[in-house]
Amino acid sequence: MTLPAADELQSAAEKALGRCGVDLQAGEHDVVSPVNGRPLASLRWQDAGDVEAAVARAGEAFRTWRTVPAPVRGGLVRRFGELLREHKDDLATLVSLEVGKITSEARGEVQEMIDICEFAVGLSRQLYGRTISSERPGHRLMETWHPLGVVGVISAFNFPVAVWSWNTAIALVCGDPVVWKPSELAPLSALAAAALLDRAIAEQGAPEGLSQVLVGGPDVGEALVGSRGIALLSATGSTRMGRAVGPRVADRFGRSLLELGGNNAAVVTPSADLDLTTRGIVFSAAGTAGQRCTTMRRVIVHADVVDEVTERVAAAYGRLPIGSPVQEGTLVGPLIGGRAYDAMQAALEEARAQGGEVVVGGGRRFADEAPDAYYVEPAVVRMPAQTDVVRRETFAPILYVLPYRTLDEAIALNNDVPQGLSSSIFTGDQAEAERFLAADGSDCGIVNVNIGTSGAEIGGAFGGEKETGGGRESGSDAWKSYMRRATNTINYSGELPLAQGVTFTV
């Protein structure tokens, strides 16, 4: 395979940015494409000093936006969704060029943005409170929900625009402005997405400062975390990052919504449909070159079928087309960069030292053609037990195969990792499925039956437990994170009875 030339990718990026309304100003920081390891563009970064000014502008916008009726706020998000539809291919192109996603996955990420806009528009008419029975006659007790304040978003490279949109679409209908610090590895798609929202804001007459993007390094993220003007800080990244972010936000009594590491497993029982199982495993484990937070990293297979499942998956891996993500037919694109490659090789070496056997994969492709691009063969590794390397997340396409005998043993293996994001079971037995879904089954935030661990829909809340951080984004009642609750008591009795039978007469 011949990888695209640098000028070809630069031209594609420039055209996509222009159509989205971005007039790119060159700066001193290169944006490097993992497709060929060469620069796509250069940008000027903002610094920590720009953060408070952005937060102040957002605070000013909040004072206006919180008084706008929620269905009217939904009209802005509706228009944003329309613009995303118009520019779906442009945004997908930028996602592919910046983070190496194959075209269908990049388009799928933009479709997630469109979907969350549709969800949020409906939500704008469903920000329901409740009425509660009061113990006092002539009183009404109720709950109401109000806009919270400025929302700060720190997103990771692997979903450079979708995760921001999950937060932003819901925050906007809830009455909150957003200040976004995207990954420094993927600023172009962020600028394009933000430009489309800016256009919608202008067309709808919404206040300036409602949406802002800050392109910069870790100092920008740290300033956003520490800003007292940020009411909710939503951060996606590693568990290590979450350990730094959570306490700092808590120290200033802010709210945090953390989406951190995953070490996701599938249990395969003897009753599973192995054709369906193989397809589910391969997409979840090798898709996005193993760089999803929901990537399947462990497959826990009953001893009666472990050899067959391993052989099926290894054979499928041997057929995977690896190469340029913008070339038709490719299923596995590049790793984001050299550090990811080094981490993968170190994990494979550690797995061997802990008794593992690399069944297939692990090698590098196109190193001579593109020494600064890192294409790898997804690896399958059989392990005798769940060792230290298996319990640690490696953000690369390594799938560890573990045997089990009883379903209780399989569930214990699934849960015996620090992370708790996504899990699944492949089975034809309803009782096995229900056991996995039960309170003493999988301890993850996402628990699936007969599908893989990745590919969540926006209608359900997304997030996980334990070192995954406990946050919930996207669907269901995740909107409550972006609002504040007030309990209201209305006395229309003309008397003043006190609760709990208290008497206090003056």
Percent of the chain at pLDDT > 90 equals 98
Say if strands 398-404 and 379-382 run parallel, antiparallel, or are unpaired: parallel
What are the structure tokens assigned to 193, written together?
A: 């997405």
pLDDT (average), residues 276-289: 98
Q: Is the pLDDT of residue 331 over 70?
A: yes
| Contact criterion met (CB below 8 Å) for 321 and 331 | yes
Burial class (CB in 10 A: 0-12, 13-18, 19+), 391: middle
Residue range 262-276, pLDDT digits in tens: 999 999 999 999 999
Report the half-sphere exposure of 211 (CA within 13 A, side-chain side): 27
Domain at 264-459, CATH homologous superfamily: Aldehyde Dehydrogenase; Chain A, domain 2 (3.40.309.10)
pLDDT at 325: 98
Amino acid at site 418: P
Per the prediction, the chain carries an average pLDDT of 97
pLDDT tier for residue 1 given thresholds of 50, 70 and 90: low
What is residue 480's DSSP assignment?
A: G
What's the distance, CA 178 to chain centroid? 17
Contact 40, 97 (CB under 8 A): yes
pLDDT at 241: 95
The whole-number average pLDDT for the span 376-385 is 98
pLDDT at 453 over 90: yes
For 211-252, write each residue's pLDDT tens digit: 999 999 999 999 999 999 999 999 999 999 999 999 999 999
What is the rounded CA–CA span in Å between residue 402 and residue 382? 7
52 belongs to the catalytic site: no
pLDDT in tens, 457-470: 999 999 999 999 99
Superfamily of domain 6-260+469-486 in the CATH hierarchy: Aldehyde Dehydrogenase; Chain A, domain 1 (3.40.605.10)
Give the active site residue among 105, 259, 393, 467: 259
Give 464-497 pLDDT, tens digit per residue. Answer: 999 999 999 999 999 999 999 999 999 999 999 9
CA distances from 79 to 75, 76, 114, 199 (A): 6, 5, 10, 9
Domain ranges of the chain: 6-260+469-486, 264-459
Mean pLDDT over 291-308 rounds to 98
Given a cut of 90, whether residue 446 has pLDDT beyond it is yes
115 or 503, which is more confident?
A: 115
- The whole-number average pLDDT for the span 372-397 is 98
Q: What is the pLDDT of residue 490?
A: 97
pLDDT digits (tens, 9 = 90+) for 6-52: 999 999 999 999 999 999 888 999 999 999 999 999 999 999 999 99
User: Alpha helix locations (H) across 354-463?
Assistant: 388-391, 407-415, 430-437
Q: What distances in angstroms separate CA 135 from CA 129, 237, 364, 432, 497, one per listed residue?
A: 19, 46, 70, 45, 10
pLDDT attached to residue 260: 97
Average pLDDT of the segment spanning 281-288: 98
pLDDT band with cut points at 50, 70 and 90 for residue 341 = very high
Q: Which two tokens stand for residue 486?
A: 């007030």
Going by the DSSP 8-state scheme, the letter that residue 479 receives in this structure is G
- Can you list the positions of beta strands (E) in 269-369? 296-302, 357-360, 364-365
For 131-154, the pLDDT digits (tens) are 999 999 999 999 999 999 999 999
Among 212, 187, 176, smallest CA distance to 53 is for 212
The per-residue pLDDT for range 117-127, each reduced to its tens digit, is: 999 999 999 99
pLDDT confidence of residue 456:
87
